[in-house]
Amino acid sequence: MANISLIVGLGNPGKEYAQTRHNAGFWFVERIADKYGITLKNDPKFHGISGRGNIEGQDVRLLLPTTFMNLSGKSVVPFCKFYQVAPEAMLIAHDELDMYPRVSRPLRRGGDAYRDWETDRKSTRLNSSHLKLSRMPSSA
């Protein structure tokens, strides 16, 4: 986890989405919180659920935006600005259909997921191309 100070799990809010593949990012962050004993609390100031804890000797914040995935910048950008988290210090986990279960990889330029994130990033003025986005498999 070299130099990661924020892990963001993307998903969609609401009971109708709770068990859908789009919440793979939520599930990933929730597992990290469970494993490391990090309490996640409602954080309405940042339109999300957040927590802070120690992961392998490093101070790390966790964030689950409670906006829809395509509006996650409304949560992530103010959170990063408030806590002074540089974009290159973030790991953003989201779902991906075209992967085998239990495999993650960095997001590369191109493809729908990248275009969706770039559109949201630009609309919320998160100025960096150094983001670490990890695509999470969508099935178990």
Annotated domain spans of the chain: 6-137
Tokens standing for 118? 């770039």
Range with the lowest mean pLDDT among 5-14, 24-33, 96-105, 128-137? 128-137
- Average pLDDT over the chain reads 78
Tokens standing for 59? 């101070």
Cα–Cα dist 33/44, whole Å: 19
Task: Tell me the CATH class for 6-137.
Answer: alpha beta
Tens of pLDDT, residue by residue over 76-134, are 999 999 999 988 888 888 876 555 555 555 554 444 444 444 444 444 444 444 445 55
pLDDT value of residue 99:
57
Catalytic residue among 22, 47, 94, 130: 22
- Contact residues for 18 (Cβ-Cβ < 8 A; gap 6+): none
Q: Could you confirm whether 47 is annotated as catalytic? A: no
- Residue 42, SS3? strand
Q: What is the pTM of this model?
A: 0.75
Tokens standing for 31? 């597992």
